Amino acid sequence: MENHFWRMFNPIIPHILGPRHFEKLYRKRKDPWNYQANPFETEKYERTLAALPHGVKQILEVGASEGVFTEMLLKRGLQVTGVDVSLTAIERAKKRLAGYGDQIALLAADITKDEVVGTYDLVLAAEVLYYLGGRDRLIKLRDKFREALRDEGYLLLVHFYPNGKLIHDLFQEEDAFRVVSEHVYPHPERDYLITLLRKLPSSRVSDQR
């Protein structure tokens, strides 16, 4: 599907697939996207791990779901704060990750509305931003992610292609972030895009406003 379709459709999606949709989905069944066993998801997770830059320690994972990928991050010794709008998903993640002690913090929160607490080396948003709205809402999120990041922190974005390109490009506008790496991975299930961005100093952003 081409991006002129997504440009029109993305602003409508949160009205159809909002917080209540996700809570209902998780209550209906565990692991609704089969993250634990689908080889496509496993491959995507491996590639996402491979895209993590060296030196990163504290990660904010947006849309952490039941913690399947979160656990991969924890196994690497990283410190993770996982946020998800579904309380049921967060409760399941808490059970799954109970053995990781203070390496993990899990919060039920709406990233578009609730405040982000803390400062991070990297913000990860995988398969979540296309649920959150069109350009205006994503620009607000871009500012929120910048604020949550330390200087020269990273933003790692993973979304299906081509819609992902529309979203990832928006985060680079106004010199908010610069691209470190970007790859499209063709896949019979769904092509996807992994983009690693780095925060640029605030002065460059405010100079342009």
Ligand X SMILES: C[S@@+](CC[C@H](N)C(=O)[O-])C[C@H]1O[C@@H](n2cnc3c(N)ncnc32)[C@H](O)[C@@H]1O
Judged by the rule CB under 6 A, the positions of this chain that interact with ligand X are 22, 33, 35, 63, 65, 69, 83-86, 89, 110-112, 126-128, 131-132
> Which is nearer to ligand X, 32 or 200 (by Cβ)?
32
What is the closest distance, in whole angstroms, from the C-beta atom of residue 113 to ligand X in the complex?
A: 7
> Which is nearer to ligand X, 60 or 83 (by Cβ)?
83
CA distance 17 to 31: 17
The one-letter amino acid at 68: V
> In terms of DSSP H, where are the helices of 36-122?
39-51, 68-75, 87-96
> Which is nearer to ligand X, 74 or 126 (by Cβ)?
126
Residue with nearest beta carbon to ligand X: 63
What is the closest distance, in whole angstroms, from the C-beta atom of residue 204 to ligand X in the complex?
A: 28
What is the closest distance, in whole angstroms, from the C-beta atom of residue 124 to ligand X in the complex?
A: 8
50 CB-near residues (< 8 Å, 6+ apart): none
What is the closest distance, in whole angstroms, from the C-beta atom of residue 207 to ligand X in the complex?
A: 31
What is the closest distance, in whole angstroms, from the C-beta atom of residue 65 to ligand X in the complex?
A: 4
DSSP one-letter code for 69? H
38 CB-near residues (< 8 Å, 6+ apart): none
The one-letter amino acid at 57: K
> Which is nearer to ligand X, 32 or 53 (by Cβ)?
32
> Which is nearer to ligand X, 164 or 205 (by Cβ)?
164
CA distance 129 to 167: 8
CA distance 139 to 154: 17
